[in-house]
Amino acid sequence: MLEVTGATVRFGADAALRDVDFRLFPGEVHSLMGENGAGKSTLIKAITGALALDEGVLVLAGETVTFRDPHAAQAAGIGTVYQEIELLPNLSVAENICLGREPRRGGVISARAMNTRAHEILLDLGLDLDPASTLGTHSLAVQQLVAIARAISADVRVLVLDEPTSSLDLDEVAELFRIIRELKTRGVAILFVSHFLDQVYEICDRVTVLRDGELVGEYLTRELLRIDLVQKMLGRGASELKSRDRLADDEPDAAVVLRARGVSSARGITEADVDLGEGEVLGVAGLLGSGRTSLARALTGVNRLESGVIRIESRPVRLDSPRRAMSLGVVYSSEDRRRDGIVAELSVLDNITLALQSERGVLRQIPAARRRELAASWVEALDIRPPDLDRPAGTLSGGNQQKVLLARLLALSPRVLVLDEPTRGIDVGAKVEIQNLVGELADNGMSVVFISAELEEVLRVGDRVAVVRDGRVVRIAAAVELTADSLLALVAQPDEDEE
Amino acid sequence: MTAVYKHRLFWPIVSLLTLIAINAIARPQFITITMRDGELYGALITILRDSAPLMLVALGMTIVIATRGIDLSVGAIMAVSGAVALTIIDGSGDPDALATVLIAVLVAVLVALILGMWNGFLVTVLGIQPIVATLVLMLAGRGAALLITGGKITTVNSAPFKWMSSGYMVALPVAFFIAVAAIIVIGVIERRTALGVLTEAVGINPEASRLAGVRSRGIIWGAYMVSGALAGVAGLIYASRTSAADANNAGVFIELYAILAVVLGGTSLNGGKFSIAGTVVGVFIIQTLDSTVLFLGIPSAQSPVFFGFVVAVVVVLQSPRMRSGLANLSGRLRPRGAGVQDREKAEVA
Amino acid sequence: MAAMTTTTARAGGRADRASSRVQTFLSRHGGMMPTFAAALILVLLFIGAEAFLRGDFIKPLTISNLLINNAYLLVLAVGMTFVILTGGIDLSVGSVMAFTGMLGAKLLADGLPVAIAIPAMLLGGAAIGLFIGILVQYFGVQPFIASLAGLFLGRGLAFIVSLNSIKVEDPAVLWLQSTRWKLGDWVVTPTGIIALATVAIAAFVLHLTRFGRTIYAIGGSEQSARLMGLKVGRAKVGAYVISGTCAGLAGLLLTAYANSSYPRNGIGTELDAIAAVVIGGTLLTGGRGYVLGSMIGVFVYGTIKTIINFMGAEQAWMQIIVGALLLLFIVVQRAIVARAEGRR
């Protein structure tokens, strides 16, 4: 039905997608798998007309096509349901389904005809909903189904579902799957993207795996073991690492610096228990959406706790803001450098000294010479390139931006450093440098939480490894006791060896 | 050379110098400055003197805009401050007493500061969009000023008060010194403390700033307070010039001119990087333009047409479409809309 | 909470049906709540004025005058509603009204017929609206700033037409205001009819045409609207053109009302129009609101003004009360939006 060959998309010098092939058959549910930055969303955008391919061809039902915009893709029969529901909460359900092709008589919209038609489409999906009600009054799950109703109300040949289940509960997912199967029998080709492996295995016939913008392969779901799938997604790349002495216990033997008990936050982490010893690196392994980021944010005052206690050196503390956490020596570096990290238009100098300055307060400005000296020493220590303090930080490469962020946090001389995917999307050299740096910091007594999607990296860097799955910390073990395979099994497999 | 050309203040300063040059050629007396009784006179001196209220308001506006905000209420705050001061002077037994005037000035600025605090409260605590939040005071402020003066235009005859706008110190107008003092104070506070950088950080990326531990609420709130207080001082100078508290006409449209001055000075309305020097140049451009329009024999009432076009041209030149268009002209030819697509791509990455 | 549940359970079938009907209503028309609140405030104002002024307020004449005296503001508010529904704002309407009023008066004074003068007024308003719309849509200028340029432009042009007020003696224009059609004690002028017709046409366009629904869609989420294949650019520019045209029409009504045109007319009127729209329940963030609400907002505004006149109180109270009402509605809206975000 749909075939993409040699797809390449570049953003400046970096390619987000390199020479990827992808095919979709009618009456088939096909899953696209990959971690952050693997190129999933880029490929979807190329298919749905939101992005143009720099190289490669798109063939729909035997015809080569190029889509000028999403609307052109829709007109060609490619319906899309986005992860962020792209509907209008202020309008009625019927309008959300029909708008743009609503029944009109002499230019006047017939609300009755529109409601009737919408109701029919909804009933078709097994949804008895008042079509005149305002969309925003319904739950996200219903809105998601309305989005599907809109996508299939036109003559749809390909349906793209981008993480449609992330806001649904189990029953709602079952309902969605019933609809997907129904559409499948009608011969619709369905592209289903989800980071929930269970769902992929339940509904999909075929899987295409991407990693770092490249195609890993296409497989039949029933022939591919779950563990192999995860391995293909995460990949294995060997790189050098300075050896350091590591602890071999399940429990930290040094003094516990940070102790979290029963920590839950509104977004994504439930009842987590974590201990962090002095001079220890705790690796955190988990798939995208497992709760690994929520855990980091809960520990650092970014997201508020719903329940649970965090103690720092056995004193219970309330981390109600990043600022408060910082004053207690707990700092966080976000997985999303561009959005939550770098202040792009400010200079490297200002970015490095930002946190230190705000901790000192507005009035006690660090003297200019001291600031420059401080920033220069970090630029040198972390080998930030180009070593130009006055350059806007946004113009640096990803790896160097990450180093600037690290410098900003390290300038505070923190006791606990929480790094959320610090090595994502940066080149191998910078990656190794950051891994080594984390080791050195720990050797000097700093406690580090190191989150990564790469299991090998977690194993190499961490003294102990915490495995996060479905919003829970399911296992904490010494890194030396784990192998890449056993960790893979822990990360991938649901509902086994739960305590 | 290219460094000079690329400097942020290059175009504002060139525009200002061009304007002055055109005026000087058209009427040489424009740049002549005469000394009478130890006091300087001339068109340029008048510009320095008359620009003081706008300068004060525009300085405050610069800080507010740097935080991604806007303050529409400055004109109304000017009216209130003038009304407060004149009512106090009018009500006292001795309008010429220095103490009376000092108290009036202090109370008026304090009231203006509180009004700024109110704006900051709406924006930071209640989370209301700045345009809307300051619109409330823009509407209600003049009403309040009218109530303070009892619905009439209060006039006073107070020499010390009058001195603020028409007095001279060291051969230059006092109003000019007030403006210079404000520029220096703001410049020092923003650039000699960390406030400037932290303000820019909040304006550019609020979430990253929060994660870096920046007290963004306090910084934004402070910006509105500064803007309010400066508008208060501006209101005093305005009231002093006319010796009257005219709630309906004090500072009408000044918020618009102030925003224009900030934009002309190269500070983006999207917040972030700001330039005090740029705003100063922007204010002088506006004041000189105003003087030019007057000189051309065009009634000052008609000058808004010019400002309308200036606003339009400036914002169009600053718009992303225009920039990518210019980049296309100087760079290789690219398909139409490529610039837009690049932006979308950048968002994906 | 538990007690409530049992009560509901015991109340049985009829109550259930009634409550489900309430639920249906809420789910369909929940967005009208702020407008109902405005209507409630209007009623309370009426009752309060009636009690305070010892039965001298609720008379057909007073209420008729509410429409007649505020016809121009009503037309401005209708245009403003279109713009605010898209999530924008139009600061230019007051000065555009002044400009078109001056333009029309000048053309008539120069001896041109009404058939040319009135279309020229409407076109003049539409042109400035188009100018603002293009800046907003095609150059990515913030609506606030773009309409600010329009404000300057309109005001300056008004003074360019003439620095002084121009008297209007054309019988057709005077007829608009001087004619009084009576039905019992109720009175209406052609200007009032024009204002009401504007409201009716706007309501029709906003609710029953694709253009109107696109306006709402843009306010809901511009990106979604675009993904749905709606003609976003056209509708957005259209909203500003409509607002400009309405300002042109308001210029005509104001000229007819005052028998003359003055270049300083309508300074700050854009704020009154915005306040009326917001008080009428339209969200400043766009996507929610009704043109009928704006009408109620204008009547609330007019009633406050009338009451202040009746009481002989300071006009200044007008600005303060409108400012306070605006604040009230904004805070309420903020709460609504915060709740909606919380649910997401």
Phi-psi region of B38 (alpha: psi -120 to 50; beta: other; left: phi over 0): left
* pLDDT, averaged across chain A: 84
DSSP B235-276: HHHHHHHHTEE-TTTTTTTHHHHHHHHHHHTT--TT-S---H
Q: What are B49-86's pLDDT values in tens digits?
A: 889 999 999 999 999 999 999 999 999 999 999 999 99
B200/chain A closest Cα distance in angstroms: 8
Residues pairing with A20 in the sheet: A7
Mutate to test the interface with C, among B131, B315, B322 (most CBs of C within 10 A): B315
Q: What are B251-309's pLDDT values in tens digits?
A: 888 988 898 899 888 888 888 889 999 999 999 999 998 888 877 777 877 888 888 88
**Which of chain C's residues have a Cβ under 8 Å away from the Cβ of A150?**
228
Burial class (CB in 10 A: 0-12, 13-18, 19+), B332: exposed
Q: Do A358 and B211 touch (CB under 8 A)?
A: no
> With bands split at pLDDT 50, 70 and 90, how would you rate the model's confidence at C9?
very low
pLDDT of C5 higher than 60: no
pLDDT of A32 higher than 50: yes
Q: Alpha-carbon distance B125 to C67, whole Å? A: 39
What CATH topology corresponds to A256-492?
Rossmann fold (3.40.50)
Cβ atoms within 10 Å of A415's Cβ, excluding its own: 18
Q: Alpha-carbon distance A112 to A100, whole Å? A: 16
Amino acid in position A127: L
Q: Alpha-carbon distance B28 to B82, whole Å? A: 37
Specify the 3-state DSSP secondary structure of A103: coil
**Which of chain A's residues have a Cβ under 8 Å away from the Cβ of C219?**
90
Q: What are A135-194's pLDDT values in tens digits?
A: 888 877 788 888 888 888 877 889 999 888 766 777 778 888 888 898 888 888 999 988
Superfamily of domain A2-234: P-loop containing nucleotide triphosphate hydrolases (3.40.50.300)
Cβ atoms within 10 Å of B2's Cβ, excluding its own: 6
Element (H, E) at C187: strand C186-188
Strands B34-36 and A104-105: unpaired
Residues C68/C268, Cβ–Cβ less than 8 Å: no
Handedness of CA B177, B183, B187, B189 (dihedral sign): positive
Domain boundaries along the sequence of chain C: 33-343
| Lookup result for tokens 């296309």 | B328
pLDDT of B247 higher than 50: yes
Amino acid in position A316: P
C197/chain B closest Cα distance in angstroms: 29
Please report all neighbours of C, defined by 3+ CB atom pairs within 8 A. Answer: A, B
Of residues B152 and B110, more confidence is placed in B110
Of B139, B256, B303, the CB nearest to C271: B139
Q: What is the mean pLDDT of residues B318-323?
A: 68
Q: Which of A107-111, B1-5, B194-198 has the lowest mean pLDDT?
A: B1-5
* Cα B315 off chain centre by: 18
> With bands split at pLDDT 50, 70 and 90, how would you rate the model's confidence at B338?
very low
Q: What are A448-462's pLDDT values in tens digits?
A: 999 988 888 888 888
Domain boundaries along the sequence of chain A: 2-234, 256-492
Amino acid in position B162: K
Q: In this structure, which long-range contacts are made by residues A238-243, counting pairs with CB atoms below 8 Å and at least 24 apart in sequence?
A: A238/A456, A239/A428, A239/A431, A239/A432, A239/A435, A240/A432, A241/A432, A241/A435, A241/A436, A241/A439, A241/A460, A241/A461, A242/A436, A242/A439
DSSP C142-186: -HHHHHHHHHHHHHHHHHHH-SS-EE---HHHHHHHH--EEETTE
Of the candidate CATH numbers 3.90.25, 3.30.1460, 3.90.550, 1.10.3470, the domain formed by C33-343 belongs to 1.10.3470
pLDDT at B340: 37
Q: Do B200 and A332 touch (CB under 8 A)?
A: no
What CATH topology corresponds to B2-303?
ABC transporter involved in vitamin B12 uptake, BtuC (1.10.3470)
**Which of chain B's residues have a Cβ under 8 Å away from the Cβ of C153?**
304-305, 308-309, 312
Does the CB of A480 have a partner CB in chain B at under 8 Å? no
Task: Calculate what percentage of chain A has a pLDDT beyond 70.
Answer: 93
Closest chain C residue by Cα to residue B322: C139
A104/chain C closest Cα distance in angstroms: 8
Does the CB of C151 have a partner CB in chain B at under 8 Å? yes
Q: Alpha-carbon distance A112 to A92, whole Å? A: 12
Residue burial A375-407, b: 16+ Cβ < 10 Å; e: rest: bbebbeebebeeeebeebbeebbbbbbbbbbbb
Specify the 3-state DSSP secondary structure of B305: helix
- Complex ipTM: 0.81
Q: Alpha-carbon distance A32 to A158, whole Å? A: 14
